């Protein structure tokens, strides 16, 4: 699908990169792997990714439809007492990578890219990957304070959709950013806005919204033993809030999809028909003329070869002369 003529044509360096990326995305799901816990493109935005990649000047480089997760954070840094930097797992490069938890040796206990089916009377701890954890609700955090390096925190986290898109020009990036902001992804932005080489600028746009994100500490892990520090009611509340955020996230994704498709379609005239530039109009008129000429030639052949302009008059002849 072509984007409106107001956007410049994609430069060669963009077209080469897009071709390579689409080859990776064409790999069957059973063979595809990336850096995410799931290891493949999320079903919730697969159609959106296909529609964006079908547009001239755009190609997705990483994505996450949105997720809820429970994870044990990574190891403490050696002597500084601070945590090692966590990887941005929501931004998933389309390359082979081992499936694992958070940076620094952390691990995933639960991950879902869809709303969580939570039975109010069910075992919510098992549902969230906390099966076998001990309860220490209401206890003081002496273990964390006295031996911080050997204690890891357990997080419950919801993250909305994040989408990285390589664009063919600053104009393409601006169009996509405008669509993201209008759809409610207010923290969207772009990088690679300048070039240090002779190649054309190809910005990368991140479509994201931190306003829907939320996180809560729900436990600790000591010597490999996980302890839940909150009540079942609190866990049920977290799941309910995450499911509500999933619904809002879904609405924003659909708004973004609609806005992108509308913005990339040819503009409409007041009568509802598509606007066309002078070149397109000339080509259309020429095609219509050739088609009309062919139709007239066909009609002439069906008429038994009567030349154009001849008129066949069938009039009676009066032979009664006086």
Residue 299: its H or E element: helix 278-302
Q: What is the mean pLDDT of residues 267-279?
A: 61
Query: What pLDDT band is residue 105 in, cutting at 50, 70 and 90?
Result: confident
Is position 216 within any domain?
yes
Provide the pLDDT for residue 174.
97
Average pLDDT, the chain: 80
Instruction: Classify each residue of 79-99 as buried b or exposed e, where b means 16 or more C-beta atoms within 10 Å of its C-beta.
Output: eeeebbeebebbbbebeeeee
- Least-confidence region, from 37-46, 86-95, 198-207, 294-303: 86-95
Q: How far is CA 194 from CA 29, 225, 229, 231, in A?
A: 35, 49, 48, 51
Question: Higher confidence at residue 288 or residue 75?
Answer: 288
Is position 247 within any domain?
yes
The tokens of 101 are what? 């938890």
Is position 210 within any domain?
yes
Domain count, the chain: 1
Q: Single out the residue of 67, 61, 66, 106 nearest to residue 86, CA to CA.
A: 106
- Report residue 237: phi and psi, to 5°: -65, -40
pTM of the predicted model, to two decimals?
0.71
Task: With a cut of 60, say whether residue 311 has pLDDT above it.
Answer: no
Is position 322 within any domain?
no
* C-alpha count within 13 angstroms, C-beta hemisphere, residue 227: 16
Coil, helix or strand at residue 201: coil
Is position 168 within any domain?
yes
Provide the pLDDT for residue 85.
41
Task: With a cut of 80, say whether residue 151 has pLDDT above it.
Answer: yes
Q: Rounded to whole angstroms, how far apart are CA atoms 109 and 117?
A: 17
- Is the Cα dihedral 294, 300, 301, 306 positive or negative? negative
Is position 317 within any domain?
no
Q: Quick one: what percent of the chain has pLDDT higher than 70?
A: 68
Coil, helix or strand at residue 206: strand
Query: What pLDDT band is residue 275 in, cutting at 50, 70 and 90?
Result: low
Provide the pLDDT for residue 257.
97
* Chain segment 154-183, per-residue pLDDT in tens: 999 999 999 999 999 999 999 999 999 999
Provide the pLDDT for residue 197.
83
Provide the pLDDT for residue 287.
84
Provide the pLDDT for residue 79.
43
Provide the pLDDT for residue 258.
97
Q: Rounded to whole angstroms, how far apart are CA atoms 109 and 92?
A: 19
Cβ neighbours of residue 126 closer than 8 Å, sequence gap 6 or more: none
- Report residue 306: phi and psi, to 5°: -60, 130
- Least-confidence region, from 30-44, 240-254, 256-270: 30-44
Cβ neighbours of residue 75 closer than 8 Å, sequence gap 6 or more: 84, 104, 105, 106, 152
- Report residue 112: phi and psi, to 5°: -145, 135
Q: Single out the residue of 31, 76, 44, 41 nearest to residue 249, CA to CA.
A: 44
Q: What is the CATH number of the domain that holds 68?
A: 3.30.1960.10
Is position 5 within any domain?
no
* Chain segment 11-64, per-residue pLDDT in tens: 999 999 999 999 988 877 665 555 555 557 888 999 999 999 999 999 999 999
Helix/strand/coil percentages in the chain, nearest 5: 35, 20, 45
Query: What pLDDT band is residue 140 in, cutting at 50, 70 and 90?
Result: very low
* Chain segment 118-138, per-residue pLDDT in tens: 876 678 999 999 976 676 655
Query: What pLDDT band is residue 295 in, cutting at 50, 70 and 90?
Result: confident
Question: Higher confidence at residue 76 or residue 16?
Answer: 16
* Chain segment 197-241, per-residue pLDDT in tens: 889 999 999 999 999 999 999 999 988 889 999 999 999 999 999
Provide the pLDDT for residue 113.
96
SS (H, E, C) 113-171: CCCCCCCCCCCHHHHCCCCCCEECCCCCCHHHHHCHHHEEEEEEEEECCEEEEEECCHH
Give the range of the structural domain holding residue 116, as residue numbers without chain letter.
Answer: 12-263
Burial of 47 (0-12, 13-18, 19+ CB in 10 A): exposed
Is position 76 within any domain?
yes
């Amino acid at each position: 699908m072509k984007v409106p003529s107001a956007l410049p044509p994609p430069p060669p360096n963009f077209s080469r990169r897009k071709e390579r990326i689409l080859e990776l995305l064409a790999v069957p799901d059973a063979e595809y792997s990336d850096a995410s816990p799931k290891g493949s493109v999320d079903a919730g935005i697969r159609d959106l990714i296909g529609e964006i990649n079908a547009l001239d000047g755009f190609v997705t480089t990483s994505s996450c439809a949105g997720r809820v997760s429970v994870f044990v954070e990574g190891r403490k840094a050696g002597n500084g007492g601070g945590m090692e930097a966590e990887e941005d797992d929501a931004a998933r490069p389309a390359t082979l990578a081992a499936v694992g938890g958070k940076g620094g040796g952390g691990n995933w206990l639960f991950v879902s890219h869809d709303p969580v089916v939570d039975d109010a009377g069910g075992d919510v701890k098992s549902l969230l990957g906390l099966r076998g954890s001990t309860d220490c609700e209401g206890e003081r955090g002496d273990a964390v304070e006295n031996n911080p390096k050997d204690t890891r925190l357990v997080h419950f986290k919801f993250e909305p959709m994040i989408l990285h898109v390589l664009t063919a020009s600053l104009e393409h990036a601006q169009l996509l950013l405008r669509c993201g902001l209008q759809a409610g992804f207010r923290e969207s932005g772009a990088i690679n806005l300048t070039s240090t080489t002779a190649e054309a600028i190809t910005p990368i746009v991140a479509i994201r919204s931190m306003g829907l994100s939320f996180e809560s500490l729900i436990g600790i892990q000591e010597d490999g033993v996980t302890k839940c520090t909150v009540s079942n009611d609190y866990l049920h509340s977290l799941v309910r809030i995450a499911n509500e955020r999933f619904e809002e996230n879904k609405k924003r994704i659909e708004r973004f999809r609609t806005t992108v498709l509308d913005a990339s379609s040819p503009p409409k005239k007041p009568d509802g028909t598509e606007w066309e530039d002078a070149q397109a109009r000339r080509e259309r008129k020429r095609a219509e003329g050739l088609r009309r000429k062919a139709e007239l030639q066909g009609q002439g052949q069906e008429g038994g070869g009567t030349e154009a302009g001849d008129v066949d008059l069938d009039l009676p002849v009066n032979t009664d002369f006086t």
